Chain A
Amino acid sequence: MLSRRNLLKALIATGSAVAIGVVFELREANTPEYIQNQDWQWLNAEQAMIVSLLMLSIYKHPDIELDEAALVKLLINVDKTITLLPDPQQQELKQLLDILSFSLGRLVITGNLSNIQNISVSDTDEILLKWRSSSIVTLNTAYVGIKELLMASFYGVEDQWQAIGYPGPPRFNQ
């Protein structure tokens, strides 16, 4: 469980350039319209924005083209998947997105970037890699949680099956 104390510890560990407690809030103006205009079931526009940034890292490959339409489709799928999770998992996911909001927002606050939309794939790559091998368990949890959610949403639907050579299940009751 990501307790509040662990969350705080994790935030401290991600860097000290900003005083703890300053949580950067993504401005609505920074969020592209295709995210702003969606009718999300669980995510809000800010969280959808963060997830879309992570998707660009998580799915990055020459074979995979992620235009706006593809991103929105994937985001809608992730949003739907989250609604099926039990309450404790949803709460944890919300906390996880809060940490991310902070980590990504920090890049803007510290002046590395002027705008959240300028965050590059290599910035999110770096965050994910750091989390994967971190000695802080909360960050490992965040990495595994995000990766599992996004991979499951990507490979659970037909769009990618042909590319990896999976014919799909035999047709029953579909």
Chain B
Amino acid sequence: MTKEPHSNAYNAAKLPVELTKDYDVIVIGSGAGGASSAEIFATSGLRVLILEEGPYRTHKDFTLHEADAYPDLYQEVAARKTVSKGVTILQGRTVGGSTTVNWTSSFRTPNQVLEHWQREFGLKQLTTTELNPWFNQIEQDLSVAPWAIPPNANNSVLQTGCDALGYSSKIIPRNVKGCANLGYCGMGCPINAKQSMLVTAIPNALDAGAKIISRARAHRLLFKGSKIQAVEVQALDDTGRAISNYQPIKFKAKHFVLSAGAIGSPSILLRSKIPDPNNLIGKRTFLHPTIGSAALMPQIVDGFQGAPQSVYSDEFLWRDGVQGEVGYKLEIPPIHPLLSSTLMPGFGPEHRDLMNQFRHFQVIIALLRDGFNPEDNGGEVQLNSDGYPMLDYQLSKPFWRAARHSMAAMAEIQFAAGAKQVMPVHQQGSLAYNFKSYQQKLLKLPFEALQLNIFSAHVMGGCAMGSEPDNAVVDDLGNAYQMENLSVIDGSMLPTSLGVNPQLTLYALARRCATNLVKVI
């Protein structure tokens, strides 16, 4: 067995007895929310234990091979699906959570979102004035700045196309320091340039005395009345399966923080049968459902190379106000062969002829801002008969309308940037030579789940914040309404999606919640 990366790091399968003492606070999950919180708890002198179901990998482990990274660092081999299989979910499962494998895009919470939350959920405290100092500090700590190097060819297309059409586009702020522009952020940064939780908050917390146990899945919380007494933990093997014949371990603490992500956290509460008088846990789960348009460019694009996301366009993010037709953010995904091959339409000759043009492909994605239109209420986290979480996400009518709208917008931008041919990323997609024929083809394509390829890299909601116990699971500081010593600090606290990549919002909320908790634990 290899040595753990830090003297305060342990593997659940071989825990020393002294680790099962009591803690001030146990943090379940080590991603954006959990790591940020744990850092504040530990540096404030609290005795902290972090539980992480994934492995503890570091820059020395990242081979940058998709076939290594997806099984090792992602939930369900990067092929987690909604119940209907309509949406594929990319979610980290490793120390640092999704921050270890994200593409480094760092946006503040849009003011429109905060105002919507103030109006609809009574979250009066969450104003830009309140959050800006947190954002300022985080951006400084994580070296967030607009990408100063010219965008790669893949991102340039978005910029050029938007310029040609008079659409707005901007450079993305990234949390990197000494980035070598490799293009493999999704497989873990091999040079520690990405300022993820893995290289910032986690080591800071461990240096301050926090302990972390990897391959440790929180099975359920044990409680009496309104007080959580312990968390029951299952040790996992290298494929993430519970090790059989291994007794669950119980850990006790004064306070428990759930940061297991918007599928993990609700599922722990559901397994624990935590009181939920208003039936809110696991409800209103949002995904930023994401679709793509693929263009063949005359020039070589090599979309696997260079900072994967450096240009974005918010031209359509608020196209019909906050609550009208669903708006979307346009970004660029990295193009690597394994994932691309699963998305190219068809099979046999049709598929390989497209793969043979791999170096010329350029892709734009639209991230749809779900959870604002009154008809768009997201999904629901449920448990299967083994207690395993499943996300039932029904794609709404407003979603399908916006999907068609965004598909056309992306193609228009690609043609304007000089694309020779463009096709929707769809099981029955085919290349069109100009925008007019593209639109005709688009009309004939079925816009249905399992035909249109739909992704999510941002799972949000399910333990939403709100001002009142009857419409929310937690308050604006993450404190659970139904329990005395439980907080939820992760993407599941968001009452809607964000319309931007969520990491920065989660860091800010987590630091604010944790700083408050230090005073009361």
Contacts and interface: CB of A to CB of B under 8 A. Distances in A.
A170 B358 CA distance: 18
A155 B340 contact: yes
B63 A157 contact: no
A156 interface: yes
Interface in B36-73: 60-67, 71
A24 interface: no
A83 B239 contact: yes
Contacts of A156: 65-67, 337-338
A155 B352 CA distance: 11
Contact of A84 (B71, B351, B356, B451): B71
A62 to B, nearest CB: 8
A113 B190 CA distance: 54
A64 B384 contact: no
Question: Which of A1, A62, A140, A144 has the largest count of B CB atoms less than 10 A from its CB?
Answer: A144
A10 interface: no
Interface stretch (A15-23, A31-39, A104-112, A159-167): A159-167
B431 interface: no
Contacts of B340: 155
B167 interface: no
Nearest to B75: A86
Interface string B179-190: 000101001001
A89 B81 CA distance: 10
B348 A88 contact: no
Given A60-B348, A64-B352, A84-B77, A140 B451 contact: yes
A166 B304 contact: yes
Given A84-B239, A157-B67, A151 B428 contact: no
A172 B149 CA distance: 23
B239 A88 contact: no
B65 A85 contact: no
B341 A152 contact: yes
A169 B63 contact: yes
Interface-central residue, A137, A155, A163, by most chain B CB under 10 Å: A155
Contacts of A166: 304, 337, 358-359
Interface in B354-398: 355-356, 358-359, 384, 386, 388, 390
Contact of B352 (A61, A89, A144): A61
A16 to B, nearest CB: 24
A9 to B, nearest CB: 15
B471 interface: no
Nearest to A64: B352
Q: Which of A61, A128, A145, A174 has the most CB of B within 10 A?
A: A61
Interface string B60-101: 111111110001000011010001110000000000000000
B450 A137 contact: yes
Nearest to A1: B83
A63 interface: yes
A103 interface: no
A7 interface: no
Given A141-B450, A165-B358, A89 B342 contact: no
Given A86-B76, A87-B386, A140 B60 contact: no
Contact of B349 (A61, A161, A172): A61
A147 B347 contact: yes
A132 B428 contact: yes
A168 to B, nearest CB: 8
B85 A144 contact: yes
A89 B67 CA distance: 18
Contact of B348 (A58, A86, A160): A58
A166 B84 CA distance: 33
Given A85-B76, A132-B428, 8 more contacts: A58-B351, A60-B347, A86-B388, A87-B386, A140-B450, A156-B337, A172-B62, A174-B65
Interface of B: 60-67, 71, 76-77, 79, 83-85, 182, 184, 187, 190-191, 239-241, 304, 337-342, 344, 347-349, 351-353, 355-356, 358-359, 384, 386, 388, 390, 427-428, 449-451
Interface of A: 1, 57-64, 81, 83-89, 125, 128, 132-133, 137, 140-141, 143-145, 147-148, 151-152, 154-157, 160-161, 163-166, 169-170, 172-174
21 contacts: A58-B348, A61-B349, A63-B356, A81-B71, A84-B77, A86-B76, A86-B240, A86-B388, A88-B384, A89-B79, A133-B428, A137-B449, A140-B450, A144-B450, A151-B338, A156-B337, A163-B356, A165-B358, A170-B64, A172-B62, A173-B61
